[in-house]
A and B are shown apart, each in its own frame.
Chain A
Amino acid sequence: MPATLRLGASLRILIGGQDEFTVEPGRSVRDTLVSLGIKPELVAMVSVKDEMQTKDYVIQEGDTVRLLAVVGGG
């Protein structure tokens, strides 16, 4: 069962393009981002089931992984 990567509006501002990707589980968020051509350092937050995770989190089957950037700062 594939997983879903959802890009928040803040991240889409930076990289453009689509807001959702279907990805294969079993790889880290970081590796998955690289494979999609997205610079991992542009992603400030990884959220799975409303909990913050690191980019080393290994994507599980059926996960919806939400990614946010920080565009404007504090």
Chain B
Amino acid sequence: MNGYGGKILRVNLTDGTVSKDPTPADVARDFIGGRGFGIYFLLKEVPKGADPLGPENKLIISSGPISGMLIPGGGKCDWTTKAPLTGGYASASMGGHFTAEMRYAGLDSIILEGISPKPVYLFIDDDKIELRDASDLWGKSTFAVEKQFKEKLGEEFQVAVIGVGGENMVPYACINHDYGRQAGRGGVGAVMGSKKVKAIVLHGTKSIPVADKDAYRKAGMALYKACKDAEGLKEWTRYGTTIVVSWCDEVGALPTRNFSAGSFENGKNLYGPVMREKIVITDKGCFGCPCPCGKYSRNKKYDNYVEGPEYETIGLMGSNLGIDDIEAVAHANLLCDELGIDTISAGNAIGWAMECYEKGIFTKKDTDGLDLKFGNIEATFTLIEKIARREGFGALLAEGVKRASKKVGKGSEKFAIQVKGMEQSGYATHNATAMLLAYMTCDVGAHHNRSWAITYDLQVGREKVVPEKVARVIWLQNFRPMFDVLGGCRLQWVELGIDRDLYVPALEAITGVHRSWEDLDKVGERIWNLTRLYWARENEGFGRAWDMPSPRFYEEAPTSGATKGQITKFEDVNRLLDMYYEQRGWTSDGLPKPETIASLGLSAVVA
């Protein structure tokens, strides 16, 4: 099958066996790859009501047809599972070089099933596939394990590894790769830990069959040329995602002190040029990337090296905690990476705890003696460790803000910044109605990468609640995650403004199947509806209430910064959902109507 390795690898951890199935041609036709494969296998193979950390859940790792190809950004793979953080759908995207080696080993998906009786790692070298003992690796940091494998096996082997957070099944544990890339959100690392899999180590040498080699070369070159010629390439390469810190601060989108504001009085200390000057030593990209947005830093203050921090970590571990020291943020980043927990959720959990402390809900008796005022850098470092190890007060924060605030009560639920149980990523949405809707309806919880619409809010009027905004959010939700289906990075389109039509001939040359973006958007819409149906299947009573944002965005206007005094009215929150459901073809409670399912050709999939 052109464009595919042709095999799905199944790893039964319970009995220690591995097997390969042919990649189903009809699934490749209808869902293409990446997160399309992920939701298909999740719906079909993980039984209703499965415990996310139990043997019935599966961890599904999928590449896509542009993964490992000479297409800009072809370095992404998708990690799908039932999320321990939310009880719903999780799909985390990971960059780096893992997906390329996976493809060269002939694998379109790797599916981890069951639970191993002892710690193991999965070793793949083309057709040599083994589960090996990892008892001596258990408890080690992600970086130490990756370094150990690289030194033993060679640089060509790629490593995906969990840290102590994953071993302890922290619901927002992540999976690390390439010393600083992550499958970050939803707790995919906890699922890997529950299966007692410390790492996946792989290398391949096979070719990927291509339908038309000449057309592939031509289309690939056109994409690289477009990147090379793009206005802004120099700046994105120099600053990466930190380019937006100053802009978010200016427009009131920078999460500040647990999202109580969107501008930080000391934000300037965290801006991209400051970071570049103080700590960045080089740029670091994923497989085949012409615009390496990763920044590799030497942190002299803490005497270490780290990839990043990225914008999200600067927002959540910096301004959101009242910390204005970029070196401290970089160190917090390193701790999270070594321990294998998601910086976004961890930053939210610590921010929530700091607000509880400043409001008197917690005292030092509750916090293991930590003085949890905003801005306390040392307490932040200590809490990261405690969360990953589930020690003392850290055990509460390790639950995530939804569960933790439910346990604590005393009004703390109102400033637990989450949707569907997932902590909100780095954009404050006090008066940005399209972006607020994007968070409310995102298919994994409050994450930004499916639909990012703040600029559209600014363009058309941030407080406006109009059908055009809803349509924009839906279009982005259908379109942007298609990069996670194709196995590529969206940032060439996002950052450099590459014409997305340039991907069409590349995809056709690789797979031999012509798909316009109209076709691809339709695949995206089908996948979006399937993820919604998965949430409904797994959660009794699932509906509108699950889409509600934190009250912080409709009850409390910031008292400072660019959005001072600004808020989204509660009635507008519901109006947004009314319009969204109608445009999606869903019921007034947010469930896909039977006729919508039928019109998308999904009846057989969900039967």
Which residues on A are within 8 Å of B, measured CB to CB? Answer: 6, 8-10, 13-14, 39, 41-45, 47, 50-52, 54-55, 66, 68-74
Give which listed residue, A10, A52, A71, contacts B239 with CB less than 8 A: A52
What is the distance, in angstroms, from A41's C-beta to the closest C-beta of chain B?
Answer: 5
Q: Which of B230-238, B380-388, B564-572 lies at the interface with chain A?
A: B230-238
User: Are B243 and A52 closer than 8 Å at their CB atoms?
Assistant: yes
What is the distance, in angstroms, from A34's C-beta to the closest C-beta of chain B?
Answer: 14
User: Are B459 and A14 closer than 8 Å at their CB atoms?
Assistant: yes
Question: Would you mind naming 6 contact pairs between A and B with Cβ atoms under 8 Å apart?
Answer: A44-B244, A52-B243, A52-B273, A55-B250, A73-B494, A74-B241
CB-defined contacts of B453 to chain A, threshold 8 Å: 73
User: Are A14 and B247 closer than 8 Å at their CB atoms?
Assistant: no
User: Are A66 and B493 closer than 8 Å at their CB atoms?
Assistant: no
CB-defined contacts of A72 to chain B, threshold 8 Å: 452, 476, 480, 490, 493-495
Given A71-B494, A72-B452, also A9-B230 (CB < 8 A): yes
CB-defined contacts of A71 to chain B, threshold 8 Å: 455, 494, 497
Known: A41-B251, A52-B272. 14 other contacts (CB 8 A): A9-B231, A9-B497, A39-B459, A42-B455, A52-B246, A52-B273, A66-B235, A68-B232, A70-B243, A73-B454, A74-B311, A74-B449, A74-B452, A74-B491
CB-defined contacts of A43 to chain B, threshold 8 Å: 247
Taking the complex as formed, is B312 at the interface, i.e. its CB lies under 8 A from any CB of chain A? yes
User: Are A68 and B273 closer than 8 Å at their CB atoms?
Assistant: no
A54 to B491, CA, bound (A): 23
What is the distance, in angstroms, from B262's C-beta to the closest C-beta of chain A?
Answer: 12
Taking the complex as formed, is B536 at the interface, i.e. its CB lies under 8 A from any CB of chain A? no
Q: CB within 8 Å of A: which of B405-458?
A: 426-427, 448-449, 452-455, 458
Question: Inter-chain contact count A-B, CB under 8 Å?
Answer: 91
User: Are A70 and B312 closer than 8 Å at their CB atoms?
Assistant: no
> Digit string of B218-235 for contact with A (CB within 8 Å is 1, else 0)?
000000000000111011
User: Are A13 and B247 closer than 8 Å at their CB atoms?
Assistant: no
Give which listed residue, B232, B311, B454, B490, contacts A10 with CB less than 8 A: B232
A2 to B80, CA, bound (A): 55
CB-defined contacts of A14 to chain B, threshold 8 Å: 455, 459
CB-defined contacts of A9 to chain B, threshold 8 Å: 230-232, 496-497
Given A51-B273, A52-B273, also A73-B455 (CB < 8 A): yes
Given A52-B235, A74-B311, also A8-B497 (CB < 8 A): yes
A42 to B452, CA, bound (A): 14
CB-defined contacts of A54 to chain B, threshold 8 Å: 246
> Most chain-A CB neighbours within 10 Å: which of B231, B247, B454, B490?
B231
Give which listed residue, B272, B448, B458, B491, contacts A39 with CB less than 8 A: B458
A72 to B490, CA, bound (A): 9
CB-defined contacts of B427 to chain A, threshold 8 Å: 73
> Digit string of B482-509 for contact with A (CB within 8 Å is 1, else 0)?
0000000011011111000000000000
Give which listed residue, B231, B426, B497, contacts A6 with CB less than 8 A: B231
User: Are B247 and A44 closer than 8 Å at their CB atoms?
Assistant: yes
What is the distance, in angstroms, from B377's C-beta to the closest C-beta of chain A?
Answer: 25
Q: Which B residue's beta carbon lies closest to that of A6?
A: B231
| Overall SS of chain B's interface | helix
What is the distance, in angstroms, from B446's C-beta to the closest C-beta of chain A?
Answer: 14
What is the distance, in angstroms, from A49's C-beta to the closest C-beta of chain B?
Answer: 11
Q: Which A residue's beta carbon lies closest to that of B293?
A: A74
What is the distance, in angstroms, from A73's C-beta to the closest C-beta of chain B?
Answer: 3
What is the distance, in angstroms, from B265's C-beta to the closest C-beta of chain A?
Answer: 16
Give which listed residue, A51, A70, A74, contacts B247 with CB less than 8 A: A70
CB-defined contacts of A52 to chain B, threshold 8 Å: 235, 238-239, 243, 246, 272-273
CB-defined contacts of B244 to chain A, threshold 8 Å: 44, 70, 73-74
What is the distance, in angstroms, from A47's C-beta to the closest C-beta of chain B?
Answer: 5
User: Are B458 and A41 closer than 8 Å at their CB atoms?
Assistant: yes
A72 to B272, CA, bound (A): 18
What is the distance, in angstroms, from A39's C-beta to the closest C-beta of chain B?
Answer: 7
What is the distance, in angstroms, from B5's C-beta to the closest C-beta of chain A?
Answer: 29
CB-defined contacts of B250 to chain A, threshold 8 Å: 41, 55
CB-defined contacts of A51 to chain B, threshold 8 Å: 273
> Most chain-A CB neighbours within 10 Å: which of B235, B426, B458?
B235
Q: Which A residue's beta carbon lies closest to that of B458?
A: A41
A8 to B232, CA, bound (A): 7
What is the distance, in angstroms, from A12's C-beta to the closest C-beta of chain B?
Answer: 8
CB-defined contacts of B312 to chain A, threshold 8 Å: 74
CB-defined contacts of B246 to chain A, threshold 8 Å: 52, 54
Give which listed residue, B238, B426, B452, B459, contacts A50 with CB less than 8 A: B238
A54 to B494, CA, bound (A): 22
User: Are A45 and B247 closer than 8 Å at their CB atoms?
Assistant: yes
A51 to B277, CA, bound (A): 11
Which 7 residue pairs spanning A and B have beta carbons closest together?
A73-B452, A72-B494, A8-B231, A9-B497, A44-B247, A10-B497, A68-B232
A39 to B454, CA, bound (A): 14
> Most chain-B CB neighbours within 10 Å: which of A6, A41, A42?
A41
What is the distance, in angstroms, from B14's C-beta to the closest C-beta of chain A?
Answer: 38
A70 to B232, CA, bound (A): 11
A45 to B230, CA, bound (A): 15
A30 to B261, CA, bound (A): 23
A55 to B246, CA, bound (A): 10
What is the distance, in angstroms, from B316's C-beta to the closest C-beta of chain A?
Answer: 13
A71 to B449, CA, bound (A): 13
A51 to B234, CA, bound (A): 10
> Digit string of B505-522 for contact with A (CB within 8 Å is 1, else 0)?
000000000000000000
CB-defined contacts of A39 to chain B, threshold 8 Å: 458-459
User: Are B458 and A13 closer than 8 Å at their CB atoms?
Assistant: no
Give which listed residue, A6, A45, A47, A69, contacts B455 with CB less than 8 A: A69
What is the distance, in angstroms, from A74's C-beta to the closest C-beta of chain B?
Answer: 5
A55 to B249, CA, bound (A): 13
CB-defined contacts of B448 to chain A, threshold 8 Å: 73-74
